[in-house]
Amino acid sequence: MTFSIPIGSSFTASRAKPLTEVEAQDVVQETMVSVMKHIPTFKYDPAIGTFKAWLLKMTRWRILDQLRKRLPVREKRATDDSTSHTSSIERVMDPNSEDLDAAWNKDWERTLFEAARGKVKRRVDPQKYQLFDFYVRKEWPAEKVAMTFRVSVEQVYLAKHRVLELIKQEVKRLEKEGI
């Protein structure tokens, strides 16, 4: 089983807002090390939960560990009575929060879509992919894309349709494989 988590992914930037980029990268690395240690003994049981939920829990723990490392020694030993500021650890979403689950699911879907898009990009004709990319991802008007690439507007729409269909199929395939 192979895992591919881009270090600069939106997960590291958006889910771990109180973390610096370096801390977020550490979270990714520590999570992956922990997953690799536990994966040989991991037994999938749908009654207990999904792999995705297990991975989320592992990641949450690593984020909290990162934030604890940041606390000065005196804050680790005793709680401070002053409420003039919120510590980073308090700004992290509650691990049992539905908001965190929704954010995780949204990020998981985005990562899945990006993985599928990358695979499709390597398989399709480069010009067709560029038409799709400029029209859909860069949000250029279809007329501008058509004029820039010297194709008809209909070809832009057709490229969008075909590439999106391939991406949808790839997403379904990745989901079916449990990735």
- Domains delineated in the chain: 1-78+86-104 (no CATH), 116-179 (1.10.10)
Left if phi > 0, otherwise alpha if psi is -120 to 50, otherwise beta: which for 139?
A: left
* pLDDT on residue 98: 62
Q: Which of 18, 102, 105 is nearest to 64 (CA)?
A: 18
Long-range contacts of range 21-25, CB-CB < 8 Å, 24 or more positions apart? 23/66, 23/70
* pLDDT on residue 54: 79
Output the tens digit of pLDDT for each of the chain's 179 residues.
Answer: 344 444 444 444 344 357 788 888 888 888 888 888 888 887 777 777 777 877 888 888 888 877 777 766 555 455 444 455 555 555 555 555 567 677 777 888 888 888 899 999 999 999 999 999 999 989 999 999 999 999 999 999 999 999 999 999 999 998 887 65
User: pTM of the entire structure?
Assistant: 0.48
C-alpha distances out from residue 100 to 53, 107, 109, 138, 141, Å: 11, 10, 14, 29, 35
